[in-house]
């Protein structure tokens, strides 16, 4: 078994990142890969429902809530006044897997595949982000650009993702070095 790898999926809101991920994940799983996703949200969010015990525990002040059943478990952590964890800190918490796909974290220094749709009227991100290693787009790009793949060819995008993903430990180390921090490497 090779070490886990990571690749970000980045792009403007409305570019189709989540749609692409929901198409990619089953293809990668069919190839025998254990896939983890890590998604950034820009605002407060809830994963549980008002009235449910987990929600009530968290609202009552629990700093962490773990819910477990025979089919799944989830862990929620309330930050309170703590700063938002860095991408490196979150990647250290990832369970055993083969591939981590990171959605969002647009400004972080991990390798990324940009999802780009010219019809959105937004500029490409790759000219200002040297960590964008490929672009999935539905239109040809002009000028100098990273390698491209047809956004509508999910098999080709999956091959690109696997080719561009970098070892998790290396990505964590690079993120730590960029922030001038360090921490334990994942086991």
**63-120 confidence digits (pLDDT tens):** 777 787 788 877 777 777 888 888 999 999 898 999 999 998 888 999 999 999 999 9
- List, for residues 21-39, the tens digit of each pLDDT value: 999 999 999 999 999 999 8
pLDDT surpasses 50 at 185: no
User: According to the model, what pLDDT value does residue 63 have?
Assistant: 72
Token reading at 130: 């040297």
- Average pLDDT in the 13-23 region? 94
Contacts of 95 (CB under 8 A, 6+ apart): 36
pLDDT digits (tens, 9 = 90+) for 143-165: 999 999 999 999 999 999 999 99
pTM over 0.95: no
Which of 95, 132, 168 lies closest to 12, judged by CA? 132
Domain ranges of the chain: 5-45+84-179
| Of 51 and 103, the one with more pLDDT | 103
Least confident of 13-17, 65-69, 74-78, 179-183: 179-183
| Integer Cα distance of 108 and 129 in angstroms | 9
Position 97 scores a pLDDT of 93
Give the class (CATH, top level) of 5-45+84-179.
alpha beta
Q: Is residue 186 over pLDDT 70?
A: no
Question: Closest Cα to residue 150, out of 115, 126, 101?
Answer: 115
For 116, residues 6+ apart whose C-beta sits below 8 A from its C-beta are 11, 15, 124, 125, 135, 136, 137, 141, 151
């Amino acid at each position: 078994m090779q070490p886990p790898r990571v690749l970000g999926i980045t792009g403007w809101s409305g570019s189709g990142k989540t749609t692409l991920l929901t198409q990619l994940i089953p293809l990668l799983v069919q190839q025998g890969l254990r896939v983890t996703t890590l998604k950034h949200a820009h605002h407060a969010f809830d994963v549980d429902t008002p009235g449910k015990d987990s929600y009530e525990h968290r609202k009552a002040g629990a700093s962490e809530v773990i819910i477990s059943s025979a089919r799944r478990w989830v862990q929620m952590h309330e930050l309170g006044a703590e700063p938002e964890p860095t991408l490196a800190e979150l990647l250290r918490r990832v369970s055993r897997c083969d591939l981590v796909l990171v959605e969002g974290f647009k400004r972080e220094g991990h390798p990324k595949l940009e999802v780009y749709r010219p019809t959105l009227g937004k500029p490409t991100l790759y000219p200002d982000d040297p960590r964008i290693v490929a672009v999935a787009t539905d239109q040809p790009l002009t000028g100098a650009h990273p390698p491209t793949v047809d956004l509508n060819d999910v098999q080709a995008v999956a091959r690109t993702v696997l080719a561009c993903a970098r070892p998790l430990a290396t990505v964590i180390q690079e993120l730590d070095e960029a922030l001038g921090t360090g921490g334990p490497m994942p086991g």
